[in-house]
Structure 1
Amino acid sequence: MVERDLWLGRRPLHLRLRFLQGESTGSYVTRLAARNLRPVEQLLASLGVGPMPVEPQYTEMYVSRYARERLANLSGCSVTELSLRLVSLRDEFLMPDGSADDWEWPWDARAGFIVQACSLCAASRGTRSPAWLILPDPWHVCLRHGRWTDNSRSLERPYIDLRDHPGVVRAQHRLNRVRKRLGYAAARWVEADALSVLTRAGYLEDPSRAREREWAVLAARVGEQRARPVAQSGMLARLAWDMSWLEERRRAGRLTAADSRAWLQRVGRQCGFLFHEPLAQWISGHHPLQHARQAGASGAGGTRETEVAGQGAAPLASLQDLTCLPWVRMPNEMDRLFL
């Protein structure tokens, strides 16, 4: 084993770097090195010992506890702040104690998806090179600049301009209202179930054949896999909003069996007959509660009730991992690229 140089990585670099929300560790380390006019290999040498770096668009970088401390020193912030900013540096993602290396670039990210950051957001943080996020789902909507990015790694079309798809912006605002209504963790559960219902109903299974011409044009331009989640976003947000109405009342202990039946009839009629069966199955697993505390105490709501009460699921748990329904498939579960 190569010995560490304990004098390296003890002092901050001259130039600090502004964080990007949701950025991957590999992207941050690469940008930090470029900001200080250093090869990334030289910066990594200050963290300890390990393999050659990999381009951050391919996989995530994971570090040991020792390397995390050194990276915090170099970046000029505390370990607590660094772990808060870069999710892959949290304790659950650290390499095991006693590892021969201080960092690794596995063939695939252990959790989450590598998604390209909005280049305008990256530029506002002082970088002109592509930056990469590690997110629970394989897409990201930048409402500030009206851009949709995903995990396609396309250099020719790195983003989808949402000025051509205003319905997607409205859908994202609606999902944000769902999160405000239920809280982030519970809203993610509802969004996951809504996506599973869409899968079961076969909604816009092939966007190139959809009646809406804009989706057919988008599918021809960027491919059906990239177009599918964009095409589904409006119905996903609408369904999640309707489901959150029922879930909010259920958690508060104000939902009755009559309310559930009336809700199913109303929403099923609005969405179409293909949605009735999956929505009925979703309701069957979400029984009315006498009061909100009973769910956590007696487990009447199942594992999901307990986890939401206990701060929610893992930070990089995807929608397909969160749903209690059996039909989910990520709309553009594309290529988690291998080297």
Structure 2
Amino acid sequence: MVERYLWLGRRPLHLRLRFLQGESTGSYVTRLAARNLRPVEQVLASVGVGPMPVEPQYTEMYASRYARERLADLSGCSVAELSLRLVSLRDEFLMPDGSADDWEWPWDARAGFIVQACSLCAASRGTRCPAWLILPDPWHVCLRHGRWTDNSRSLQCPYIDLRDHPGVVRAQQRLNRVRKRLGYVAARWVEADALSVLTCVRYLENPSRAGEREWAVLAARVGEQRARPVAQFGMLARLAWDMAWLEERRRAGRLSAADSRAWLQRVGRQRGFAFRDPLTHWISGHRPVRHARQASDSGAEGPGETEVAGQEAAPLASLQDLTCLPWVRMPNEMDRLFL
């Protein structure tokens, strides 16, 4: 094991770096080195010992507890702030104590997806080079600049301009409202179930043959794999909005069996006959919640169903990991370019 010197990383680098929301550790370290006109290998040498760095668009960097402390010193911030800003440096993602190296770049990210950051957002934070995010899902909608980015790693077509797809912007705004109504964690569970339902009904499985010129043109330009989630996004948001209506009342103890039946009939008419069976399956696992007061009045011991709001999710848990339904294929998991 190579000896680590106590003075390594104690002094912060001359030029600080502003964080990007959701940025990967590998991207941040690479940008920090570029900001200070240093090779990333030299910056990492001030953190500890480990393998040669990998380009951040391919995988994520994970660090030991020791390396996290040194990187916080170099960044000029506390360990708590660094862990808050860079999710992959939180305790659950740290390398095991006693590891020979202080960092690693595994062939695949342990959790989440590497998604290219909006270049205009990155520029507002003082960087002109590509930056990368580590996110629960393989896409990101920037409402500020109207851009859709994903985990394709394409530098020739790094984003999809949403000025040509205003429905996607409205869909993200609708999902944001769902999160305000239910809370972030509960909304993520509803979005996961909505995506699973779309998988079950094979909604827009092939965008180029969907009969909509907008999506056919997009599929021809960026490929069907990248176009599919964009094409699905509007329906995903509408279905999540429908399901949030029922889930909000269920969690509040205001949902009756008659309400569930009426909801199913209404949504089935609006979304199409193919949605009825998977939504019926979903409702069967989301029966009305009985709160403690209701349970004590009836002599029952407690709620018959676990409330979604009480379930915790890992910070990088994807929609396919969160859904309670059996149809879990994500719409555009890209193959690694180097495999």
Pair 1:157-2:161 in alignment: no
What are the equivalent positions in structure 2 for 1:27-66 lying under 5 Å apart? Answer: 27-66=27-66
3-state SS of paired residue (2:55): coil
Asked if 2 retains the 8 angstrom alpha-carbon contact of 1:253 and 1:292, the reply is no
1:323 maps to 323
Counterpart for residue 185 of structure 1 = 185
Separation in structure 1 between the aligned mates of residue 288 and residue 36 of structure 2, nearest angstrom = 57
State the SS of the aligned residue for 1:247: helix
Question: TM-score, normalising length from structure 2?
Answer: 0.96
TM-score for the superposition, normalised by structure 1: 0.96
Which residue in 2 is equivalent to 1:245?
245
Could you tell me which amino acid in structure 2 is paired with residue 107 of structure 1? W
Alignment partner, residue 304 of structure 2: 300
1:74-89 matched pairs, under 5 angstroms: 74-89=74-89
In the TM superposition, 1:116-135 aligns within 5 A as 116-135=116-135
Q: Pairwise mapping of residues 201-280 of structure 1 onto structure 2 (< 5 A)?
A: 201-280=201-280
Distance 1:200 1:36, change over 3 A: same
Q: CA deviation at 1:336?
A: 3.9
SS in 2 for 1:2: coil
- Name the SS for the 1:260 alignment partner: helix
Matched to 1:242, the amino acid is: D
For 1:101, the equivalent position in structure 2 comes to 101
Aligned residue for 2:139?
139
- C-alpha change, 1:293 and 1:178, in structure 2 (3 Å) is farther
Seen in structure 2, the aligned counterparts of structure 1 residues 292 and 146 have a Cα distance that, compared at 3 Å, is farther
Look up the match of 1:287.
Answer: 287
The Cα shift of 1:3 comes to 1.1
Corresponding residue pairs, total: 334
- Counterpart residue number, 2:298: none
Residue in 2 aligned with 1:309?
A: 310
Q: Helix, strand or coil for the counterpart of 1:289?
A: coil
In the aligned structure 2, how far is the partner of 1:23 from the partner of 1:265? Answer: 43
Distance 1:214 1:174 in 2: 21
Q: Letter of the aligned partner of 1:85 in structure 2?
A: R
1:61-88 deviation line (CA, Å, top 9, x unaligned): 0000000000000000000000000000
Q: Structure 1 counterpart of 2:141, which letter?
A: V
Q: What whole-Å deviation, never above 9, does each CA across 1:244-271 have from its counterpart, x for those lacking one? A: 0000000000000000000000001111
After superposition, the Cα gap between the structure-2 partners of 1:85 and 1:203, relative to the gap in structure 1 and judged at 3 Å, is: same
Distance in 2 of aligned mates of 1:293 and 1:192: 30
- Is 1:118–1:149's contact at 8 Å kept on the other side of the alignment? yes
Q: Tell me the alpha carbon deviations over residues 152-210 of structure 1, each in whole angstroms, 9 at most, x when there is no partner.
A: 00111000000000000000000000000000000000000000000111110000001
Q: CA deviation at 1:335?
A: 1.5
Q: 1:292 to 1:84 in 2, by over 3 A?
A: farther
By how many angstroms is 1:112 displaced?
Answer: 0.2
The alpha-carbon deviation at position 298 of structure 1 amounts to 3.9
**Once superposed, what is the RMSD of the aligned Cα atoms?**
1.4
Does the 8 A contact of 1:162 with 1:168 survive in 2? yes
Give unmatched runs, 5+ long, in structure 2.
296-300
Conserved in 2, the CA contact under 8 Å of 1:254 and 1:291? no
- 8 Å CA contact 2:4–2:49 kept in 1: the answer is yes
Give the distance between the partners of 2:294 and 2:335, measured in 1 at CA: 42
Matched letter for residue 94 of structure 2:
L
Q: Distance in 2 between matches of 1:294 and 1:230?
A: 43
The separation in 2 between residues aligned to 1:130 and 1:241, in whole angstroms, is 34
- Mind listing any 5+ residue stretches in structure 1 that lack a counterpart? none
SS in 2 for 1:314: coil
- What is the CA–CA distance in structure 2 between the aligned matches of 1:229 and 1:176, rounded to whole Å? 17
**Counterpart amino acid of residue 108 in structure 2:** D
Distance in 2 (CA, whole Å) between partners of 1:60 and 1:320 is 20
- Shift in Å, 1:294: 7.7
Per-residue deviation, 1:299: 5.8
> Is the Cα contact below 8 Å between 1:60 and 1:114 reproduced in 2?
yes
Q: In 2, Cα distance between the equivalents of 1:314 and 1:51?
A: 28
Q: Deviation per CA, 1:102-142: give whole Å up to 9, x if none.
A: 00000000000000000000011111100000000000000
Deviation at 1:23, TM superposition (A): 0.1
Percent identity (aligned): 88
Q: Deviations over 1:267-298 (max 9, x none)?
A: 01111111000000000000012337889x84
Letter in 1 for 2:286: H
